[in-house]
Structure 1
Amino acid sequence: MLILSLFWAWLAWNCYHPWRGKPEIFGVVSFIFGLLVGELPLHIIVIEFLITIGLIAGGGLYGLLDASAVLIAGASWLALAQFYSQADGARTEVLGAARQILGEDFIDAIPPERRRDIPARPELSELINPFAFKVPGVRRVRNVTYHEQDGRPLKLDIFHQENLPPNAPVLLQIHGGAWVIGNKDQQALPLMGQLASRGWVCVTVQYRLSPGATFPDHIIDCKRALVWVKQHIADYGGDPNFIITTGGSAGGHLSALLALSANEPAFQPGFEAEDTRVQGAVPFYGIYDFTNSLSQRRHKGLEELVGKRVLKCMLSEEPERWQQASPLFHVSDQAPTMLLIHGDGDTLAPVEESHALYKALREIRGVRVGFAELPHAQHAFELWYSRRSLQVIYALEYFLTALHQEHLDQQ
């Protein structure tokens, strides 16, 4: 029991103090346990409590050491309960970032009937079953081919309300996975389900992965998907003139690059004349500077991955290609509205990546950008329903609804 309770205490400690140093593998371990425990703290408390009760009922605990173990376990439960209670602060951070862009009173500009639809707090049913992604009234159209590359179909899924309201705002989701793994089926489901239930059309995109693909294949596919959306999304009720792109991790990188490199010929071979502008971007915990020009990253693990498997050249060999792949080097006065979201507990993609991009965008006159730095949030924190992820989603819904209303008012 003592060993078990010490492990539980470390789980709680890791939520508050994730590993950021070397060896890098410790950061991966910290991420795995930090994500699981940090986003499901009450579930973990219940499981650990039941294990403890079972050991006590079975007569497996006795003596001073076991009594100390129970006290340690209890302290870890209190720490996790406190961690859970702090998750509501994510809503404040995202709303603060939205106010940087739209002004202090931006919520008042949302029509009352739309404002009332946004939940004030997470539903208990969503918190109890964090993987119940099916949303009533939302249809998912799977595996629509948007392009064929070398005989391979590239596909996307579309989420929309069953009654297909016309001229709905569109969200384009790009999945993460370090450019080498991942798929369109498993990421951002809480966000897309929430927005689709409120009348948005959400599209999640497949793209070629490394090492089979070499950059810029990834962003080319994403831009082809965007072009398909602009040409066909009206058939699903979407408005091709209002598209917001989002994604997490590698998807955060690609969604930021998509937004900042609109109509870049190098990323649109064979479809250079197509308009690839979007009306906004909400990248989550992305890598925005492969070159590490500001020393945002403390270790070389990412450089090894990118050099050997994604770009297939090292920074010292072709620095211009590394810059071309980095959203930070595409910052200009043509940038659309952007709201960056990143947890300061991220052990895979340091929050300094978002600091750098945010600062660069802020320095350009006329560019609208906000940054929500979420206390203690780990990488991939919004993969399932949790108190933190739902608060972020609800705050984002306010922001995106207001941004869409602004678009409607300008027509």
Structure 2
Amino acid sequence: MTARPDTRYPGPTMTTRLRWLMKAGPADYMLAMSVAATSLPVIGRHLEPLGGATAMGIWGVRHTPDFVTAAVKSWFTPGIGEVKKQERDATNAVTEAALRGVVPAKDLDITWPSPERTPPVWKALEHRRNVYRSSVRYGDSPSQLLDVWRPKELPVEPAPVMIFLPGGAWVHGGRILQGYALMSHLAEMGWVCLSIDYRVAPNHPWPQHITDVKTAIAWARANVDKFGGDRDFVSVAGTSAGGHLAALAGLTPNDPDMQRDLPEGSDTAVDAVVGIYGRYDWQDKSTVERARFVDFLERVVVKRKIARHPEIFRKASPIARTHASAPPFLVIHGSGDTVIPVQQARDFVEKLRGESRSVVGYVELPGAGHGFDMTDGARTGSMATAIGLFLNEVHRNQAMARAKQVI
């Protein structure tokens, strides 16, 4: 048997360590100390959250100017309250219009959810009634856990599957509270959903994130039938960093560079992708915001400089990995997102539509900000409904194609 190539990135040399010591700032030293603490005997593994908290603090400081600017604009712009109300009121109409041509017109002839004043996160316990099994292991690491969401009773036929990838700036990958409204909605429609934890920086630098995602996909392909799921239809969705990972997973089926921990022959292809306010470009530094983001990747997530390792950043950029055989995509983003500006989604969708033979849907929610699916009840129901319509259509089309092959 031919040995699989070692695709791991080389470790730092003495020269690179000295260069880092000369250029590192206080935040870099804090991050390095928090990571080093995890190697302590006995207590080290319990200190991993410290590294994530430090990294999240660095991320927050870098975005503070954007947050402040957006807040000031929101508070002091004349008439902004009425504008926001109009944007929220337009959510259903905008979503329905965006889905025309993506799903059949008859499927759009529905009563769309009424806007809710309650933030979706407040309904977490209600949503979790659809959790069928909690903390199922999908890999060998203690961190590789998932929750199974599904109705108590499933049809005789295996149910389609959606894997949900939470966000967290690549330094937090916990499944708690994220995606609840969407998975609850899909479970009530008869789907099986898998919400995963994955390992994150700074303790687990890139590409550990995508390796864990691929491991979860391979696990679903091999095991989800034990929970009533269809191993032949596995889709993936994610928010923020999870949206990036979902898109990258969808565009790199069975890529050996991204599944080095898996046995040869593991199936990591997916049948559909939903990206929700995701980041799709790890290379572009054309704006202040994008340059700041790449610097964060270099210091915290990848721990490599893009100037010296451009291929790492290119391979991690969904916008650089688009191709004709991409699976169906639905991209959702808010025009008011100050964390990941909406132009990220627009550029990605434009490039993907220019190359992919599959459908590429795009819903741009007017005025919606980052994390709206956890905080904004006026938009979350529409988002979940749109995703359900899209995934049902993709699943229906694939089932029809399989039936024709049998005939």
Among 303, 314, 320, the residue aligned to 1:312: 303
Given the superposition, is the C-alpha separation of residues 352 and 236 from structure 1 closer, same or farther in structure 2, using an over 3 Å criterion? same
Deviation at 1:302, TM superposition (A): 0.9
The whole-number CA distance in structure 2 between the counterparts of 1:243 and 1:31 is: 38
Deviation at 1:23, TM superposition (A): 8.1
Aligned to 1:154: 144
Contact 2:192 2:228 in 1 (8 A): yes
Aligned to 2:339: 348
Within a 5 Å distance, the mapping from 1:223-242 to structure 2 comes to: 223-242=214-233
Q: TM-score, normalised by structure 2?
A: 0.76
Aligned to 1:280: 272
Aligned to 2:44: none
The whole-number CA distance in structure 2 between the counterparts of 1:33 and 1:127 is: 24
The whole-number CA distance in structure 2 between the counterparts of 1:141 and 1:98 is: 33
Aligned to 1:132: 123
Contact 1:30 1:347 in 2 (8 A): no
Write the letter of the residue equivalent to 1:80.
Answer: G
Confirm or deny that 1:290 pairs with 2:291: no
For structure 1, which segment, 176-185 or 81-90, has the greater mean C-alpha deviation from structure 2 after superposition? Answer: 81-90
In structure 1, list runs of 5 or more residues that go unmatched: 1-21, 39-71
Write the letter of the residue equivalent to 2:397.
Answer: E
Contact 1:154 1:207 in 2 (8 A): yes
The whole-number CA distance in structure 2 between the counterparts of 1:337 and 1:402 is: 10
Question: Which of the pair has the greater relative contact order for Cα pairs under 8 Å at 6+ separation?
Answer: 1
Contact 1:170 1:243 in 2 (8 A): yes
Aligned to 1:41: none
Deviation at 1:82, TM superposition (A): 5.1
Deviation at 1:262, TM superposition (A): 0.6
Deviation at 1:402, TM superposition (A): 2.2
Write the letter of the residue equivalent to 1:379.
Answer: H
In structure 2, list runs of 5 or more residues that go unmatched: 1-60
Deviation at 1:337, TM superposition (A): 0.3
Alpha-carbon displacement from aligned partner over 1:217-272 (angstroms, at most 9, x marks no partner): 10010010011111111121111211221111100100000100111111111434
Given the superposition, is the C-alpha separation of residues 194 and 360 from structure 1 closer, same or farther in structure 2, using an over 3 Å criterion? same
Alpha-carbon displacement from aligned partner over 1:133-182 (angstroms, at most 9, x marks no partner): 32486234110011013xx3410111110113341111110010100024
Given the superposition, is the C-alpha separation of residues 369 and 296 from structure 1 closer, same or farther in structure 2, using an over 3 Å criterion? farther
Write the letter of the residue equivalent to 1:93.
Answer: V
Which has the higher Rg, Structure 1 or Structure 2? 1
| Count of matched residue pairs | 339
Alpha-carbon displacement from aligned partner over 1:188-222 (angstroms, at most 9, x marks no partner): 11111111112111111111010011111100100
Aligned to 2:24: none
Contact 2:62 2:292 in 1 (8 A): no
The whole-number CA distance in structure 2 between the counterparts of 1:231 and 1:244 is: 14
Within a 5 Å distance, the mapping from 1:103-252 to structure 2 comes to: 106-108=104-106, 110=107, 119-122=111-114, 127=118, 131-133=122-124, 134-135=126-127, 138-149=130-141, 152-165=142-155, 166-252=157-243
Among 365, 370, 374, the residue aligned to 2:365: 374
Given the superposition, is the C-alpha separation of residues 289 and 79 from structure 1 closer, same or farther in structure 2, using an over 3 Å criterion? closer
Given the superposition, is the C-alpha separation of residues 401 and 367 from structure 1 closer, same or farther in structure 2, using an over 3 Å criterion? closer
Q: TM-score, normalised by structure 1?
A: 0.75
Write the letter of the residue equivalent to 1:318.
Answer: H
Given the superposition, is the C-alpha separation of residues 122 and 314 from structure 1 closer, same or farther in structure 2, using an over 3 Å criterion? same
Write the letter of the residue equivalent to 1:334.
Answer: S
Contact 2:119 2:374 in 1 (8 A): no
Given the superposition, is the C-alpha separation of residues 281 and 206 from structure 1 closer, same or farther in structure 2, using an over 3 Å criterion? same
Among 301, 306, 330, the residue aligned to 1:339: 330
Q: Secondary structure at the match of 1:363?
A: helix
Identical positions, percent: 29
The whole-number CA distance in structure 1 between the counterparts of 2:121 and 2:267 is: 38
The whole-number CA distance in structure 2 between the counterparts of 1:370 and 1:344 is: 16
The root-mean-square deviation of aligned C-alpha atoms, in Å, is 2.8
Contact 1:179 1:210 in 2 (8 A): yes
Aligned to 1:6: none
Aligned to 1:387: 378
The whole-number CA distance in structure 2 between the counterparts of 1:247 and 1:153 is: 18
Given the superposition, is the C-alpha separation of residues 235 and 372 from structure 1 closer, same or farther in structure 2, using an over 3 Å criterion? same
Given the superposition, is the C-alpha separation of residues 385 and 203 from structure 1 closer, same or farther in structure 2, using an over 3 Å criterion? farther
The whole-number CA distance in structure 1 between the counterparts of 2:288 and 2:269 is: 30
Q: Secondary structure at the match of 1:101?
A: coil
